[in-house]
Structure 1
C-alpha cells in the first residue's frame, strides 16, 4: 500500500463541529478529521470495492485490523520482557541479559516462543537472535 503523504492537520478536510480526530480511512478511503469514524458497513463496502476487488486482495479490512492490533500488543510485550530481563540481569549482578535468558528465567524461551508463534508480522531485527536460539533449543 502507498504511504500517506505528510498532510498538515490544518489542510485536512474537516467534517463536523466538535473536536475532530484523524481517521485514516474516511470518505473515499482518504484521511479526514471527523467527529466520528465512518460506519463499519461503510468501511467494509468501500474496502471490498476499492481495495479487495480492484487490487485482488483477499484480506478483509477488519481481519487486517484485528491481526495488526494483536501484533502491536505482542511487540509491546516483547519490549517489556526485554526490559524486565535486563533489570533481572542487573539484580543478579550481570552486565548482559544472556544468563537470565539461558539459565535463570526458566520460562523465557517458552514465553517468547508463544508470543512470536502467534504474531503474523515480521519480527524486529533484535528478536531474530532470540527466535533462532529458541528454535535451536527445542
Structure 2
C-alpha cells in the first residue's frame, strides 16, 4: 500500500472548505471590490459549484484510484487558485497573493506525481463474497 498523497489531501480539504463557504454564506458583498471582481467572472454559486466539482473529482480519483479524476480535480483547483491570485494581486496585493499563486503552481506540478494510491483495497473475495479456496 502506497503513502497517501499529502498535497492532494491538503488541496482536497482546502477546496472543500472553499466550496462550503461559497455555497453556505453570502460573502460577495457590494462593499468589497475583491468579491465584485469575482462576481464579474461568475456568480458566487458558480464558484461554489466549481469548488464542489474539484472536490468530487479529487475524492473519487483518490478513493477509486482513477488518475484522470485526480488530474481534472487538480486542474480545476489550480485554475481556481490562479483566479484568486490574479484577482487578489490586482485588487489588494498582499501575502495572500503569494500563497494562492504557490498553491496554484503546486496543483499543476503535482500532476507529475499522480500514480496508483491503493487507498481502498478491493479484493475479489470481499467484493463478491466468495472464497477462492472453496472453488
Determine which structure has the larger helix proportion and give its number. 2
Determine which structure has the larger strand proportion and give its number. 1
TM-score, normalising length from structure 1? 0.32
Structure number with larger C-alpha Rg: 1
User: Which structure would you say has the larger RCO, counting Cα contacts within 8 Å and 6 or more residues apart?
Assistant: 2
TM-score, normalising length from structure 2? 0.32
